[in-house]
Structure 1
Amino acid sequence: MEESRSAVYTDIDGTVTAYNTIFEFLRFDAAQEDRSAAAADFLDGLRSAARNGVPRSVTNSRYFRWWSGRPVARIQELGGLWADFQSESPDEWSFLEPVASLLDAHASAGRRLVAVTASFAPALERVRRRWPTMELLCTDPVVADGRYTGGIREALVGEAKARAVREHAAVSGVDLGASYAYGDHSSDLPFMALAGESMLVGGMASPALEVPLVEV
């Protein structure tokens, strides 16, 4: 097998990081802007919607309304500042095992690392610092005149993740059958099923998810 044709597709929140990157980045941003109370109310609204059965794709799209009107350059800067802040307290902002060590091993073997996540680039800066070559398949906020509009092109959840992986593999010449996938939620299963070897965190490894896996 040519390692250059083998890729590793991984969810991030709950799979690689022990925290929700976009929620925690929003809190960090709010603290810088003296809007912590507003952030708490905003996030409570998203959680309430989820408890009431609103699909994850919808709550994910609502999340990006927080950034409406904000300069993209400023949010990118905050991503770097947040990564610096996290690096100062690594135990509080830990990476999850076993996936973190597996990614290290895949990188050493020359395999492409690809994040498949509903998060967005500024919230993933610390992840990229640990794995600098990691490519991002993530939510793409709509931008106009250098500012976020509050909209997104598509919520990268469920089947949208699977489509993104298929497209990436086709464009990049990746052999999905020789590739790997990691996730932590039932909504990750569609993209995980595309890979030759997959592992649901807390579940068990299986070729192409032939063995039923339990959601964690």
Structure 2
Amino acid sequence: MTSAGTLVFTDVDETLIRPKSLFDFLEFFFTGRYGDAGARHARATRQHLARLQRAGAGREEANRAYYGAWRGQPAGEVAEWGRRWFDERRAGGAFYLPRTRAALRRHREEGAVLVLVSGAFDAVLDPIAADIGAAHVRGTRPHLRDGLYTGAVIGPPVIGEGKRAAVRAVLRGYPHVAADDCYAYGDHLSDLPMLTEVGRPVVVGGSRELSAALPAADVLPY
């Protein structure tokens, strides 16, 4: 049972929600906003990221490269499209992974503070946070100039070690909460730094690598 004031950290893509939000939203925005030209841009971005990964780029490098696709887009408009994306996907059903969603609901009902930790950005994460009642969002921060995305990011992406740093930053704001009493949910080996920062890690899905690295962790099947 969750104690009052406990922090519960969760990854988002394929841990809390089914789609890979960054790719899904990329296509949703650019195709919806710019039609065929936008669809080509989204497709070219995905191909570029796939080439980077085939060449050995890590998730952090790919995450940085992803935000280059948003160069010149107005942040306010993107945020509005993010709310539209969420509303459509949520209404379509099968958006949340039901076991994770139910677990987070129980945590919150028992007094926990929910924290989203993801390589995604606020346009995607804020509507999800509002819907599930997450108090904090720690995502990759695209750089803005005059309200437009520049294609760069501020600080490290919230992937791998960036997730560890995000957990520690939130915990510093809750000095009365012991990390050993906190939970974290993740599905991929890149979530390991986040999961090892708390006393109650939960492996979502069937990652053998992650389960092997955390043999004492609870497992939440899909």
Task: Report the TM-score, using the length of structure 1 for normalisation.
Answer: 0.89
Tell me by how many angstroms 1:19 deviates.
Answer: 0.9
2:116–2:134 contact (8 Å) kept in structure 1: no
Q: Where does structure 1 lack aligned partners over 5 or more consecutive residues?
A: none
**1:211 maps to 2:213:** no
1:139–1:155 contact (8 Å) kept in structure 2: yes
Identify which range, 163-172 or 60-69, moves more after superposition: 163-172
Tell me by how many angstroms 1:203 deviates.
Answer: 5.0
In 1: Cα distance, 2:86 partner to 2:165 partner: 29
SS at match of 1:188: helix
2:8–2:115 contact (8 Å) kept in structure 1: yes
2:108–2:114 contact (8 Å) kept in structure 1: yes
SS at match of 1:190: helix
Tell me by how many angstroms 1:43 deviates.
Answer: 0.7
Equivalent positions of 1:88-167 (< 5 A) are 88-91=91-94, 94-153=95-154, 154-167=156-169
Q: Equivalent residue for 2:198?
A: 195
Q: CA RMSD in A?
A: 2.4
In 2: Cα distance, 1:193 partner to 1:65 partner: 31
Query: Relative to structure 1, is the Cα distance of residues 203 and 82 closer, same or farther in structure 2, using a 3 angstrom cutoff?
Result: closer
**1:42 maps to 2:50:** no
SS at match of 2:29: helix
In 1: Cα distance, 2:53 partner to 2:98 partner: 27
In 2: Cα distance, 1:36 partner to 1:189 partner: 34
Tell me by how many angstroms 1:97 deviates.
Answer: 3.6
In 2: Cα distance, 1:165 partner to 1:30 partner: 32
Tell me by how many angstroms 1:196 deviates.
Answer: 1.1
Q: Equivalent residue for 2:170?
A: 168
Tell me by how many angstroms 1:210 deviates.
Answer: 5.3
Q: Equivalent residue for 1:15?
A: 15
1:7–1:111 contact (8 Å) kept in structure 2: yes
Q: Equivalent residue for 2:187?
A: 184
SS at match of 1:181: strand
SS at match of 1:136: strand
Identify which range, 116-125 or 53-62, moves more after superposition: 116-125
In 2: Cα distance, 1:133 partner to 1:20 partner: 19
SS at match of 2:115: strand
SS at match of 2:68: helix
In structure 2, give the amino acid aligned to 1:9: F
2:63–2:119 contact (8 Å) kept in structure 1: yes
Q: Equivalent pairs: percent with the same residue?
A: 30
Identify which range, 129-138 or 78-87, moves more after superposition: 129-138
Poorly superposed stretches of 4+, deviation over 6 Å:
none
Q: Deviations over 1:73-107 (max 9, x none)?
A: 1111111111222133113xx21142111101001
Query: Relative to structure 1, is the Cα distance of residues 212 and 126 closer, same or farther in structure 2, using a 3 angstrom cutoff?
Result: closer
1:197–1:209 contact (8 Å) kept in structure 2: no
2:117–2:163 contact (8 Å) kept in structure 1: yes
Q: Where does structure 2 lack aligned partners over 5 or more consecutive residues?
A: none
Tell me by how many angstroms 1:51 deviates.
Answer: 2.4
Tell me by how many angstroms 1:44 deviates.
Answer: 1.6
